[in-house]
A and B are shown apart, each in its own frame.
Chain A
Amino acid sequence: MDISRIDQIIDKHDGEASSLIQILLDIQSEHNWLPKEALKRVCERLQVPMSRITHIATFYKAFSLVPKGRHQVHVCMGTACHVRGAQRVLDTVQEVTGVKSGETDSDLKFSVETVNCLGCCALGPVMEVDGKHHGNIAPSQIASVLNNCE
């Protein structure tokens, strides 16, 4: 891991402790997770105790303290998607990837995550793969979308 890159991120936020969450979000978006060394660096540079950092990293859903897969699959479980069959979408995603929600497979291909709403509720049920939304997704279409991921 490139510590100087972590430093750049911290500098971008003027090294302010109040930007802690924003700094962690930036690190997370680059690495897909929060590596320990990165957190140590943040801890030193911002002068905030490690306990506060871990508290934040576990409180907010966006953060992961373990490595994530190359492909991020998000299944919306929001109310609009729920009444249009989100559970069946999730069941199928779990079946196709062999990964339970909140988990990553052993060869780091897929991470499956449920989310509360992706803000495309009119198109429910919605699944998001690597940032791309798939609206009105039918369970029978899921395998082909996921099999396209390398």
Chain B
Amino acid sequence: MTRLSSPEKLECARKDIVSRIDPTKPCISVCAGAGCLASGAAEVIAAFKTELEFHGLTTEVNTKGTGCPGFCERGPIVMIYPEGICYLKVKPEDVPEIVSHTIKEKKVVDRLLYEDPATGTRALRESDIPFYKNQQRNILSENLRLDSKSMDDYLAIGGYSALSKVLFQMTPEDVMGEIKKSNLRGRGGGGFPAWRKWEESRNAPDPIKYVIVNADEGDPGAFMDRALIEGNPHSILEGLIIGAYAVGAHEGFIYVRQEYPLAVENINLAIRQASERGFVGKDILGSGFDFTVKVHMGAGAFVCGESSALMTALEGRAGEPRPKYIHTAVKGVWDHPSVLNNVETWANVTQIITKGADWFTSYGTAGSTGTKIFSLVGKITNTGLVEVPMGVTLRDIITKVGGGIPGGKKFKAVQTGGPSGGCIPEAMLDLPVDFDELTKAGSMMGSGGMIVMDEDTCMVDIARYFIDFLKDESCGKCTPCREGIRQMLAVLTRITVGKGKEGDIELLEELAESTGAALCALGKSAPNPVLSTIRYFRDEYEAHIREKKCPALSCKEMIAFHIDPEKCKACGSCFRQCPAEAIQGGKKLIHIIDQEKCTKCGTCLDVCPSRFGAVRKISGEPVPAPVPEDKRAIA
């Protein structure tokens, strides 16, 4: 591949690529994102190849694997162009029908379309599906338009024009001005204005500077960075080069977690392609600007996502946070000024330059501009990635986009902001989602994880869960974090196993205060999930402590399983499946559970036919005595 040595040559190359695309030619794109791959997308793609070959259609029909468009729950997702038909949950067995019906005869396979659960109407196109209709997918929609491994696809949709514009029509100050005007705030956690970090680095006298992509995505339950870097790696790279030009850096790093092998593969490929074409390396597009970039794999430590720890890891050391008396923007990697931004932040940079700061600020609120991608997961009907303008209410996200809570259950809380965030109760669902409103509610934006919980989730257990997570992830360097978290975990565990004491809630609040004195934000924000659950769900804590009852029937040590003798029909399902052999059964005999042997796995409740519904979970009350031997026979 030849290097493109001027903006004109880039435009020529782009025209050439576009001219070779026939918009009327059928194209089958299959989402090859991690979620769809886990549901069998690779087998679907292989089936399409075989089937097209069988019909002799390989040259007449294009096929491509794209990045995640968000609706992972319904994957594998197949889109048929030019019509834009969207098929969901496609299996390899469906492929022959799609090819013969849709590709050859131009007919729709109805059963693969989205069906509205309320009305039963089917949606032909993606844009007709309520999940998508209520979003504003400025960034995510690009994933669908390209094969994540193809640079030509990226160039075809205008890729690297922002870089070319920056290098030839804008001074670094102009770029800085545009980003400042856009009021872009970091999407990785704190929501710090991007331009301020950039400016600090730019003004630092040290001539060696770095720019860095934080693709560690340590937040459990969030996967937007994964989707972006896998699905559209060039857009991240382009944003990074633009940032480098603005701050005067010539070297960059992309820190990706090793748990995301496809992201590592795709970003490495993108860098190779970009250097072959002259977007990376010496004299980029003939502008005289040089920039090289290296991928650094994380090795599985949450704390390494913290800026100073990440920089230490880049130096090849154990990634422990450092005190930041001087900002990393001034003294970062090897003590040189280093600008670190999140994946989604960099993706926004590319768009702001292409479409302008005014376009960007037309979305969102005054304090939080643009759109934000959320990972809407947990107990929600439509799980996946959701991009909405900042300021949309939680209720709209959960009901309009997410389709509400499945299984007729009741909504309990939504957890935002990951381990540093908090739980928001139903009464606050009309809260507009932006950086400041979430903080006011005792939670935070974080990277955008939204974990929805229904009535079956115990809020004390959730607090314990996060503190347990943080106990493992604390680097242990500073005492308030190490000891504070350990003590909080001991108290929370005590409460969830039914040994809570009066005063435990107050003790947690006290511990939270001292943990706040920790060195980095991991320790400082660790109490958030605890404090927010105490604030909004204090009654659940009290029930655990005073009544020895878990209202959500979730804490294993506080529940028991019981078979209702009136309802048991002796079908034997539970008896056969109980892994602990804790159930005594027999033909026409009421089944009973030996509480000593029961491991509380819950299988009996799952397998008891719903028409009998004989198994019950109980908490906070004594388990009824088993039916005496002579009364067990069912008439």
Q: Does A65 contact B (CB under 8 A)?
A: no
Interface flags, A69-97, vs B, CB<8A=1, else 0: 00000000111111110001001100100
B37 near A60 with CB under 8 A, answer no
Q: Which of A59, A117, A139 contacts B603 (CB 8 A)?
A: A139
**A59-B318, A62-B258, A116-B220 known; A24 vs B299 contact (CB < 8 Å):** yes
Assess whether A22 is in contact with B579, with CB atoms less than 8 Å apart.
no
Q: Is B634 an interface residue (CB 8 A)?
A: no
Chain B residues with CB below 8 A from A120, complex form: 34-35, 38, 72, 223
Which chain B residues lie closer than 8 Å to A61 at the CB level? 299-301
In the complex, the answer to whether A84 meets B35 with C-beta atoms within 8 Å is: no
Chain B: CB-nearest residue to A55: B318
The answer to whether B415 and A79 touch across the interface, beta carbons within 8 angstroms, is yes
Assess the A80–B378 pair: CB atoms within 8 A: yes
Complex-state Cα separation, A73 to B73, whole angstroms: 23
Determine if B259 and A115 form an interchain contact, defined as CB atoms under 8 angstroms apart. yes
Complex: A26 Cα to B32 Cα, angstroms: 25
Q: Is A21 an interface residue (CB 8 A)?
A: yes
Partner among A55, A56, A83, A116 whose Cβ is within 8 Å of the Cβ of B302: A116
Contact with B along A88-126 (1 / 0, CB 8 A): 100110010000000000000000000111111111101
Contact with A along B307-346 (1 / 0, CB 8 A): 0000001111111100000000000000000000000000
Instruction: Indicate whether A121 sits within 8 Å of B38 (C-beta atoms), given known contacts A59-B301, A82-B465.
Output: no
**Interface residues as binary, B36-69 with A (CB distance below 8 Å gives 1, 0 otherwise):** 0111000000000000000000000000000000
Q: How far is the CB of B580 from chain A (nearest CB, A)?
A: 10
- Smallest Cβ-Cβ distance to A132: which chain B residue: B38
Partner of B451, one of A25, A83, A92, A95: A83
B378–A83 CB distance below 8 A: yes
Q: Do B316 and A88 have beta carbons less than 8 Å apart?
A: no
Pick the residue among B222, B297, B315 that contacts A18 (CB under 8 A). B315
* A47 contacts chain B at the CB level, 8 A cutoff: no
**Interface residue? A41 (CB, 8 A):** no
Instruction: Please tell me which one of the listed residues A60, A88, A135 contacts residue B39 in the complex, with CB atoms under 8 A apart.
Output: A135
Whether B72 pairs with A79 at a CB distance below 8 angstroms is: no
**In the complex, B84 has a CB within 8 A of chain A:** no
Q: Are A60 and B318 in contact (CB under 8 A)?
A: yes
Given A119-B217, A133-B37: A22 and B465 interface contact (C-beta under 8 Å): no
Cβ of A43 within 8 Å of any chain B Cβ, yes or no, is no
Q: Which residues of A (20-78) have their CB < 8 Å from a CB of B?
A: 20-22, 24-25, 52, 55-56, 59-63, 77-78
Q: Does A140 count as interface, using CB distance less than 8 angstroms?
A: yes
Contact at B223–A117, with CB atoms within 8 Å? yes
Which of A55, A77, A123 gathers most chain B CB within 10 Å? A123
Question: Could you say which of B35, B384, B475 contacts A135, with CB atoms under 8 Å apart?
Answer: B35
Given contacts A79-B465, A117-B222, A122-B377, contact A52 B317 (CB under 8 A): yes
Residues of B within 8 A of A139 (CB): 601, 603
Q: Mark B585-613, 1 if CB is under 8 A from A, else 0.
A: 00000000000000101110010000000
Alpha-carbon distance A25/B379, docked complex (angstroms) = 35
Q: How far is the CB of B598 from chain A (nearest CB, A)?
A: 13
Main secondary structure of the interface of A (DSSP, over half): helix
Residue of B73, B378, B577 contacting most chain A CB atoms (<10 Å) = B378
Q: Does A17 contact B (CB under 8 A)?
A: yes
Q: Does A8 contact B (CB under 8 A)?
A: no
Q: Which of A63, A117, A126, A134: most chain B CB closer than 10 A?
A: A117
If A95-B579, A123-B39 touch, whether A116 touches B218 (CB-CB below 8 Å) is: yes
Interface residues on A, range: 35 or more
Taking a contact as CB atoms under 8 Å apart, the answer to whether B377 and A80 are in contact is: yes
Residues A84 and B313 in contact, CB atoms below 8 Å apart: no
Q: Which residues of B contact A135 (CB under 8 A)?
A: 35, 38-39
- Kindly provide the distance from the CB of B231 to the nearest chain A CB, expressed in whole angstroms: 12
Set of chain B residues within 8 Å of A78, measured between Cβ atoms: 220-221
- State in angstroms the CA–CA spacing of A22 and B258 once bound together: 10
| CB within 8 Å of A: which B199-222 residues | 217-222
Closest chain B residue to A24 by CB distance? B299
Taking the nearest CB of chain B, how far is it from the CB of A34, in angstroms?
11
* B469 CB-CB contact with A under 8 Å: yes
Chain A nearest CB, measured from B632 CB (Å): 27
Chain B residues near A22 (CB, 8 Å)? 296-297
Q: Do the beta carbons of B300 and A60 come within 8 Å of each other?
A: yes
| Neighbouring B residues of A24 by C-beta, 8 Å | 299
Q: Binary interface profile of A, 123-144, with partner B (CB < 8 Å = 1, else 0)?
A: 1101000010111000110000
B372 at the interface (CB under 8 A from A): no
Q: At the interface, yes or no: B583 with Cβ under 8 Å from chain A?
A: no
B35 touches A123 (CB 8 A): yes
Are B453 and A83 interface neighbours, CB within 8 A? yes
**Does B260 lie at the interface of the complex (its beta carbon under 8 Å from any beta carbon of A)?**
yes
Q: Does B457 contact A (CB under 8 A)?
A: yes
Q: CB-CB < 8 A to B302: which residues of A?
A: 116
Contacts A116-B302, A116-B469: A133 and B218 contacting too (C-beta < 8 A)?
A: no
The reply on B383 being an interface residue by CB < 8 A is yes
Residue in chain B with minimal CB distance to A136: B39
**Chain A min CB distance to B422 (Å):** 12
Query: Taking the nearest CB of chain B, how far is it from the CB of A94, in angstroms?
Result: 11
Q: Chain A residues near B314 (CB, 8 Å)?
A: 18
Contact (Cβ within 8 A) A88 B602? yes
Question: Chain A residues near B599 (CB, 8 Å)?
Answer: 91
A126 adjacent to B603 (CB under 8 Å):
no
Alpha-carbon separation in the docked complex, A120 to B263 (Å)? 13
Q: With an 8 A cutoff between CB atoms, is B375 at the interface?
A: yes
Are A121 and B316 neighbours in the complex by a CB distance under 8 Å? no
CA distance A61 to B298 in the complex (A): 10
Least CB distance, B371 to chain A, in whole angstroms = 19
The answer on a CB contact under 8 Å between B221 and A79 is: yes
Contacts from A to B (Cβ < 8 Å): 16-22, 24-25, 52, 55-56, 59-63, 77-84, 88, 91-92, 95, 115-124, 126, 131, 133-135, 139-140
The 4 A-B residue pairs with the shortest CB-CB distance, nearest first, are A78-B220, A61-B300, A60-B299, A133-B38
19 A-B pairs besides A92-B601, A121-B221 with CB distance below 8 A are A21-B296, A61-B299, A62-B299, A80-B377, A80-B378, A80-B449, A84-B378, A88-B602, A91-B599, A117-B219, A117-B259, A119-B223, A120-B34, A120-B38, A120-B72, A126-B38, A133-B37, A133-B38, A134-B38
Give 12 pairs: A residue, B residue, CB < 8 Å, sorted on A.
A22-B296, A24-B299, A25-B299, A60-B318, A79-B465, A84-B379, A116-B473, A117-B218, A121-B222, A123-B39, A123-B73, A135-B35
